[in-house]
Every structure is written in structure tokens, then in C-alpha cells.
Amino acid sequence: MPPFTRPERGLLADHARLLRCVQGIQDRSARAVPWEPDTVGLPRPRSNSALARINDVAFYANARDEVTALADVCAQLLRLHRPEEEHGEELCTGCRQTWPCPSFEEISRLLA
């Protein structure tokens, strides 16, 4: 079974899985072609408002960079909050709380 499909056990495995997921998002967004109305087209308008249409275009045009930035933040947080064994106890390297720390639990919940 390939390593990315092999079931892993334990909290360190949960951290590694989540970090790999975020790094995958970073990689895909970095390789994505920037969106432009003439290359991809525009989705059907949800309203007849010109302002709403401009907002839609701005959203699509900026989404790639914004997803990349959010994935970078998540990856940095996961690198900061990771388990480390110290004196037989697992602690978070970032906040020194018992692992899993509240930050990792919240990141996990939000990205699940």
C-alpha cells in the first residue's frame, strides 16, 4: 500500500497528515494558472447588478493568491504547533502545552 494511503495511527500521524494536506494545497495553488475572464470564462451571474459582477470577477481573479496565502499561514502554524516528546510526555513545540494543544485541535477542526 502506498505511504499516502496507508492508515497511520497516533497524534503525530494526524499532524503529519494535516501538514501534507496543507502542503498539497500550497503546491496546487502555486501551479494553478492565474484566472482571467478570457481564459476561463465567467460563471453565470447571480444578479443583474454590475457591482455584484465586478465583485465576482475580483474574487475569482484574487482567489489563487488568497488561497496560497491562507495555506502558507496554515502550514506555518502547523510547523509551529507540532508534537515533541519530552521526559516521556508529548508537548507542543510552539506553546509547550500537552499534545494535542488547543491550537492544533482548532486547526484540525477547521480544516476537517
pLDDT tens string 20-76: 989 998 888 887 776 666 666 666 777 777 777 777 777 777 888 888 899 999 999
Instruction: Report the pLDDT averaged over residues 2-13.
Output: 49
DSSP designation for 81 = S
User: So what's the pLDDT on residue 105?
Assistant: 94
Enter the pTM of the model: 0.67
Ramachandran class of 8: left when φ > 0, alpha when ψ lies in -120 to 50, beta otherwise: beta
Domain boundaries of the chain, sorted by first residue: 11-35+49-111
pLDDT at 3: 39
User: Which phi and psi (to 5°) does residue 108 adopt?
Assistant: -60, -45
Query: Which set of grid coordinates corresponds to residue 11?
Result: 497524534
Mean pLDDT of 74-83: 94
Contact 83, 12 (CB under 8 A): yes
Q: Which amino acid is at 42?
A: L
The pLDDT score that the predictor gives to residue 100 is: 94
CA distance 17 to 111: 11
Residues 6+ apart with CB under 8 A from 110: none
Strands (DSSP E) contained in the chain are 83-86, 89-92
112 pLDDT higher than 90? no
